[in-house]
Amino acid sequence: MIAVLGLVIGVVVGLFVQPELPDAVVPYLPIAVVAALDAVFGGVRAMLDGIFNDKVFIVSFLSNVVVAALIVFLGDQLGVGSQLSTGVVVVLGIRIFSNAAAIRRHVFRA
Amino acid sequence: MSSAPEPGREAAAENVDGEGKAAKKAAETGPVEPVGEAEHGESVEHVEEPAKKDGAEEPAAAPVKSDAKPELEPAAAPEPVVRLAKAVEPEPEAASGVESVVEPAAVQPPDADRNAGRRRLKAALWPPRLSRGQLVVALLLFSLGLALAIQVRSTNDHHSQLRGARQEDLVRILDELDSRQQRLQQEKAELEQSLAKLENSSNQAKEAQEQTRKKATELGVLAGTVKATGPGIVLTVDDPQGQVKADMLLDTLQELRAAGAEAIQINDVRVVVNTYFTDVSGGGVQIDGKKVSQPYRFTVVGNPQDLTPALNIPGGVVRTLESNQARATITQQQKVVVDALVDLKTPQYAKPASK
């Protein structure tokens, strides 16, 4: 519950405060967001499976974000940034879908 | 998908841990370990394999699930243990501080087990619990929400959209803009050209219309359908004896025409190309079938310096009139008005011949 509140408050604060981000971070933000979403879906699924562990969630969340940003950064350095970020988004999207399917099975039993 | 392998896993977990606690508790604290956690090493395959399969063949999966369930339940014990051995590998270091918890749902009949996920979700959502783990997760989710909102905001905001773009994207965008600009310039040039053309033609049409109108007015003056004004003379013929006949008036008219009269009116009759004069038997004159009474008053537009001498020449109109006991007076004016009009008849037989 508190976690959900955290998410909601984050969205509200982001919408109303509109903080300025340093330019260096801006290209990696979308990928990091998608990676974090993947971690969140994985966490919800683990919770429904009854195997949720905050430590694992925190580590996976942070490592997901860092690795995704790193891949994009590396891609930018290699000159294939847009392709690589597309690939990352595709992979994360597939994972999000599969996690969402598992969650759906738990919640709707369908 | 996960419901098929899952009960087995839970049952196996129970075998290993042998502890039963409330579902509520289970959701709160970390249970067995990251078996299902998608990010965790080999467990990724373990969890996702069925998920992918399932996504591909959704309808086929349903009966399999329902069939497999009762079978799997009793048979679960041996098989998942093997699996668990693999999945639980990291447990020792990770689970050291975590209470291992097992779902009571696992030992319950399958129907209750199916509700386990929902119950866990409800338990996790309400009542709210304050624990360090929850707070850290909340913090992470807060940052996620923040980043999400910022990203959505900046994507919708057109100006800062380019801020995060990569160099190659920027180059591409610039190229696109360049070519678009070129295209638009070209279009603009074409449109301007056609505008100029249209303006030109409309000017020409206007000009032509203007000229036509002018011409029509000029012709109208000649034909007697338009009022005319300008310098000229007024010739008044007073004939108390009634000696002036139609032929004299006609002579006067010819003389005026020969001297360059452009528009002529006698009393209130406009003199045009087909004007005729007739003597009336009881005295007096008709012009164009209209009775004209004395004094005859010629209003003539033309050059007064030409008209006056033409009438006054020896043996000319004025002398002839005077010899018939008529009095002719000529007044030169800077502005005379010929305001009588004729009704124009459309010629019945004569048609314009082609040039």
Please state whether the peptide bond connecting residue B295 to the residue before it is cis, i.e. omega within 30 degrees of 0. yes
Instruction: Name the A residues in 15-54 with CB < 8 Å from any B CB.
Output: 15, 18-19, 21, 23, 26-27, 29-30, 32-33, 36-43, 45-54
Q: What percent of chain B has pLDDT over 90?
A: 12
- State whether B146 and A10 contact (CB < 8 Å): yes
Q: Can you give the residue ranges of every domain in chain B?
A: 5-128, 228-338
Low-confidence ranges of chain B (pLDDT < 50): 1-110
CA-based nearest distance B183→chain A, Å: 27
Burial bucket for residue B326 (CB in 10 Å: 0-12, 13-18, 19+): buried
- State whether B145 and A10 contact (CB < 8 Å): yes
Q: What is the pLDDT of residue B24?
A: 38
Contact A39, A60 (CB under 8 A): yes
- State whether B54 and A101 contact (CB < 8 Å): yes
- State whether A50 and B94 contact (CB < 8 Å): no
CA-based nearest distance A110→chain B, Å: 8
Does A71 fall in a domain? yes
Residue A98 has pLDDT above 90, yes or no: yes
> If you measure CA to CA, which chain B residue comes closest to A4?
B138
Residue A10 has pLDDT above 90, yes or no: no
- State whether A36 and B147 contact (CB < 8 Å): yes
Does A11 fall in a domain? no
Please state whether the peptide bond connecting residue B127 to the residue before it is cis, i.e. omega within 30 degrees of 0. yes
More confidently predicted of A85 and B133: A85
DSSP letter (8 states) at residue A23: T
Q: What is the pLDDT of residue B159?
A: 62
More confidently predicted of A93 and B107: A93
Q: What is the pLDDT of residue B44?
A: 39
Q: What is the pLDDT of residue B351?
A: 85
Q: What is the pLDDT of residue B209?
A: 93
Domain that holds residue A76: 25-108
Instruction: For residue B69, give the nearest of B123, B11, B125, B19 by alpha carbon.
Output: B11
Of A15, A45, A47, the CB nearest to B27: A47
Instruction: Name the A residues in 46-105 with CB < 8 Å from any B CB.
Output: 46-64, 76, 79, 81-82, 94-95, 97-99, 101-102, 105
Q: Please state which of the four CATH numbers 3.40.50.720, 3.30.70.1880, 1.20.120.1200, 3.40.50.150 is assigned to the domain occupying B228-338.
A: 3.30.70.1880
The C-alpha atoms of residue B74 and residue B77 are separated, in whole angstroms, by 7
Of B103, B129, B135, the CB nearest to A50: B103
Q: What is the ipTM of this complex?
A: 0.83
**At B309, which amino acid appears?**
P
Domains in chain A: how many in total? 1
A16, A44, A53, best to mutate vs chain B, most B CBs in 10 Å: A53
CA-based nearest distance B70→chain A, Å: 16
Q: What is the pLDDT of residue B93?
A: 38
SS3 content of chain A, % helix, strand, coil (to 5): 85, 0, 15
Q: What is the pLDDT of residue A73?
A: 87
Q: What is the pLDDT of residue B279?
A: 84
Q: What is the pLDDT of residue B185?
A: 96
Q: Which two tokens stand for residue B343?
A: 């009704």
Chain A residues whose CB is inside 8 A of the B134 CB are 1-3, 54
Does A74 fall in a domain? yes
Chains A and B form CB pairs within 8 A to the count of: 229
Contact B14, B102 (CB under 8 A): yes
B148, B152, B155, B162, best to mutate vs chain A, most A CBs in 10 Å: B148
Q: What is the pLDDT of residue B189?
A: 96
Of B39, B128, B143, the CB nearest to A64: B39
- State whether A61 and B26 contact (CB < 8 Å): no
| Average pLDDT score over chain A | 85
- State whether B94 and A55 contact (CB < 8 Å): yes
